[in-house]
Amino acid sequence: MASIDARGLTKAYGKHVAVKGIDLTVERGRIVGLIGPNGAGKTTALKAMLGLTPFQGALNVLGRDPWAERDLLMQDVCFIADVAVLPRWLKVQQAIEFVAGVHPKFDRAKAERFLARTVIKRESKVGALSKGMVAQLHLALVMAIEAKLLVLDEPTLGLDILFRKQFYDSLINDYYDGDRTIVITTHHAEEIEHILTDVVFINDGRIALNSTMEALQARYAEVRVEPAQVERARALRPQRERQVFGRVTLLFDGVDAATLESLGEVRTPGITDLFVALLGNASANGLEGNA
C-alpha cells in the first residue's frame, strides 16, 4: 500500500485554484522532496494530505481519506511546520507531558534520550529558547512518536546553517528506519538533496517533474564546456546555458556520458539548478541558491 495516493487532487479558494488536478503516488519508505516557489501549491497540497482542508479528487493517505478519517489518520502521521507554533509560555517538561497525554504512540523515554543530547533544560520555557533549540525540542517530540508518515513543511525556516544541518542529520540518523515515509518542503533545496529518494517539482499548482533521485542523476548532467567545444555542445540542444567562472556551462537531458565527457568537465546538477533549467528563473523565485 502506498503511503500517499492522489488522483486529480484539486483545491480552490474561491476563484483561485491553488492545486490543479495533481496525480501523485508516494510509496512506503521513501523520502520525498516537494520543491517549488512560493505560491506553487506545496503547502495547500500538504494541508489536504493532513486533513486540514477539504479537497476535490481522490486522496488516500495510509489507506485513509484524510478529510473524513483525520482523527484515525493522525495516530500514524506527524507534522512539523514552522517551529514557532509551540506556545512561548509552555515549559519543556510540560510539552513532553502534553504529548504523552494525547498521543497513544508517544515514547516518553525516547524523547528524554533525544533531549539529553542537547543543552535544553526541562524547566525552560519555549520563549526562553533559541529558535534552533525549539527546533531540537520539536524534533525530539516527533521522533519519539512511532509514526508511519512524517510531513515537514519548511521545518528549518529561520534557522542558521548549523542547526539546519543538525536537524537533518538527526532526522536521518535517529528517526528514519527505511520503512517510514518522509515528505519535505523547503526553500533550502540543496541542503536536503543528499537525503532524498525522490523529488517532485510543483509549480502553479501542477506537478512539473516527479522522479527518483537515481533516475534524475542518470538523466541530467551539467558540463563546464571547454572553449573549443562550445559550438559543438550547443548543437546538442542543452536545456540551459549559464556562465560559471567565465566558462559556458550547459545542462543536458539524456545525452550519453561519453559525448558529454568529450565536451568538458561533467557534474551532476543540483536540484535548484535543475528547477531553474526546467521551469525558468521567474518560476524559481523563492528557491535559495539560484545561480
Report the pLDDT value the prediction gives residue 164, as an integer from 0 to 100: 84
Burial class (CB in 10 A: 0-12, 13-18, 19+), 66: buried
Q: Nine-digit cell at 270?
A: 543540483
Report the pLDDT value the prediction gives residue 286, as an integer from 0 to 100: 54
Give the list of residues 6+ apart from residue 8 with CB closer than 8 angstroms, or none.
Answer: 21, 22, 23, 56, 57, 58
Report the pLDDT value the prediction gives residue 81, as an integer from 0 to 100: 76
Q: How do the pLDDT tens digits run along the chain, 291 residues long?
A: 899 999 999 999 999 999 999 999 999 999 999 999 888 999 999 999 999 999 999 999 999 999 999 999 999 999 887 655 788 899 999 999 999 998 889 999 999 998 998 899 999 999 999 888 888 898 889 889 989 999 998 888 777 888 888 888 888 988 888 899 999 998 778 889 999 999 999 999 999 999 999 999 999 999 999 999 999 999 999 999 999 888 999 999 999 999 999 999 999 999 988 998 888 754 555 564 433
Report the pLDDT value the prediction gives residue 179, as an integer from 0 to 100: 92
Report the pLDDT value the prediction gives residue 284, as an integer from 0 to 100: 53
Domain residue spans of the chain? 4-210, 215-279
Report the pLDDT value the prediction gives residue 35, as an integer from 0 to 100: 93
Q: Nine-digit cell at 52?
A: 486540514
Q: How far is CA 167 from CA 49, 140, 196, 250, in A?
A: 23, 10, 15, 33
Cα–Cα distance for residue pair 95/86, rounded to 1 Å: 9
Within 10 angstroms of residue 179's Cβ, the number of other Cβ atoms is 8
pTM of the model: 0.88
Distinct helix (H) and strand (E) counts, the chain:
11, 13
Report the pLDDT value the prediction gives residue 289, as an integer from 0 to 100: 40
The CATH class for the domain spanning 4-210 reads alpha beta
